[in-house]
Amino acid sequence: MQNMETRISYYVRRLSVLAWITAILMLGSAVCRIAFFCEKGADTTTVWLQLILPIAASLMYCLIVLLDGNEHIYKTTIPVALYTIYAAILSLRLPFSTWPKILCWVAALVFVTIYNVSVSGKLKDTWLLTIVLLAIAGTMAYFRRSEFLAPWSVNHLRLFAEALPVLAVLLTVVGMSPHLDGAYHPTWGDRKDGRRIRTLAPITYVTPYLMPNRNGASNFIRDSVEITEVEKYIHKKRREGLTNFGITHVFLAAYVRCVAKYPALNRFLSGQHIYTRDRDIQFNMVIKKEMTIEAPDTVIKLHLDPADTADTIYEKFNAAVEEVKNTPLNSDMDQTARFLTYIPGVLLKLVVWLLKTMDYFGLLPRFLLEVSPFHGSIFFTSMGSLGIPAIVHHLYDFGNMPVFCAFGRKRRENELNLDGSVTPRKYVDYSFNLDERTVDGFYYASVLRYFHRLLARPDQLDTPPEAVLRDVD
């Protein structure tokens, strides 16, 4: 598979002269095509194949270069493919025998392939694509030179409509530059909320197809932690001015530190493929506006970094909670849920099916991913604040949440020491529900051991980790 270190990521500066010239040429092509068919007229088939199809490709290319060329220039393959289909359809009308037409279709397929592997960085440079585009431009100029040199007529509009996109694409390729920042940049197969893992073992690749549902692929574990050191740490933080600092902040900070050491913990599965969020830890938690039965629930979502300390997490967490508690029931999540309640039941089933299908193919808009409580790195629920033991919460088949953590109320135990004395100790029980398809059991076991060590010495959470490890390619 293509390695991230060997793949080159290209971009086009939005404000560069070549980008704007490209946009002007593409728009000029669309205008010429519209003017030509307004003069000549066309039947329905011609309108769809020779007007709407190439114009849609031109406008799409223009928008990608101007609005998304800095990160997703590889997506220009889509409009280029549409335009190539248009050209291949036109070749069927040429006065050639069958074999030359077949060769035209083969050449179109080869061109789209070369374009895709070039702009997506699978080739180390773009010289081959540049030569191919120059060859196309030269061929067009040679075979249609008599039409270009003829006195002006409406046919020149069609010539310009076909020639300008080739020149625009050539200028785009010339204007592309490789990213040199050393960071990962998206490519085919990635999602808006994650980078696809491409170096998985065969069994890990096949497993999501054998176990397609998240609940059916979940493992449960119950555990407990002795909290003497945790309580000392909480009292210390409160004396430092973090008045609302509690065990939720400690658990969350410990989990975030686990991601710094074990980055595969931040993976998720969607559409039968495994992705990683890298350094974007998306934490979800249900919050009650008031601790009463009638008080409504809402969900907060935090974006945390593996390098965050306990103080940073406390500030982010409390700011989100205060924002929810001090505003009416009008958060983005609440508004989205309320909108769905207006849809009749039968239609709502169709809408949910459509959302699931879009999510499967990674087509959900970013704003929906942001407001969805079912998309994230981990969901916390605090049973301790409700005065009950930890539950084992299910995972959601909708969305891509791979981990659910619940922790309960504090409990006391009298433990017998080796010398016969009895020592009272406090414990907190917690449970993890884990999607076993993202990493293996040994990895999860290593994470939980490290989680215990962090809670035994929570003062480690006051300083950033020595290193933040990165997940595999």
d(Cα 274, Cα 323) in Å, to the nearest integer?
Answer: 33
Token pair 């069927």 in the structure block, residue: 92
Give 135's contacts (C-beta < 8 A, 6+ positions apart): none
DSSP SS3 for 179: coil
pLDDT the model gives residue 401? 95
Q: In what order do the strands lie in the sheet with 267-270?
A: 195-196, 273-276, 267-270
What is the helix (H) or strand (E) element at residue 112, kind and residue range? helix 98-119
Supply the angle between the helices 228-239 and 247-261 in degrees, to the nearest 10.
110
Phi, psi of 135 (to 5 degrees): -65, -40
Listed in sequence order, the residues at least 6 apart from 407 whose beta carbon sits closer than 8 Å to its beta carbon are 247, 251, 380, 382, 383, 384, 390, 428, 429, 430, 431
Q: Would you say 399 and 310 are in contact if contact means Cβ atoms under 8 Å apart?
A: no
Model pLDDT, residue 149: 84
CB atoms within 10 A of CB 122: 15
| Separation of CA 385 from chain center | 33
- The answer to whether 234 and 247 are in contact (CB under 8 A) is yes
Q: How many CB atoms lie within 10 A of CB 413?
A: 11
Query: For the residues of 342-406, what is the DSSP string, one character each?
Result: TS-HHHHHHHHHHHHHHHHTT-S-HHHHHH-TTSSSEEEEESGGGTSPPP-PPPPSSS---EEEE
Strands 273-276 and 267-270: antiparallel
Please list the pLDDT of the chain residue by residue as tens digits (473 residues): 444 446 789 999 877 898 999 999 999 999 999 998 888 777 888 888 888 999 999 999 999 999 999 999 999 999 999 999 998 888 887 777 788 888 889 999 999 999 999 999 988 889 999 999 999 999 888 888 888 888 888 888 989 999 999 999 999 999 999 998 888 899 999 999 999 999 988 888 899 999 999 988 999 999 999 999 999 999 999 999 999 999 999 999 999 999 999 999 999 999 999 999 999 999 999 887 766 666 667 888 999 999 999 999 999 999 998 887 776 655 666 677 777 778 888 899 899 999 999 999 999 999 899 989 999 999 999 888 778 888 889 999 999 999 999 999 899 988 888 888 888 889 999 999 999 999 999 999 999 999 999 999 999 999 999 999 999 98
pLDDT at 2: 44
Three-class DSSP category at 242: coil
Query: By C-alpha distance, which of 155, 236, 199 is closest to 470?
Result: 199
Nearest alpha-carbon partner for 172 in 299, 388, 10 = 10
Question: What per-residue confidence (pLDDT) applies to 1?
Answer: 40
Distance CA 394, CA 392 (A): 7
CB 186 within 8 A of CB 68: no
Q: Could you say which DSSP state residue 146 is in? A: H
* Parts of the chain belonging to CATH 3.30.559.10: 195-462
Question: Under 8 Å CB-to-CB from 326, ≥6 apart: which residues?
Answer: none
Question: 257 near 352, Cβ under 8 Å?
Answer: no
Tokens of residue 164, six digits: 């300008």
Do 12 and 192 contact (CB within 8 A), yes or no?
Answer: no
Give pLDDT, residue 73: 94
CATH number for region 195-462: 3.30.559.10
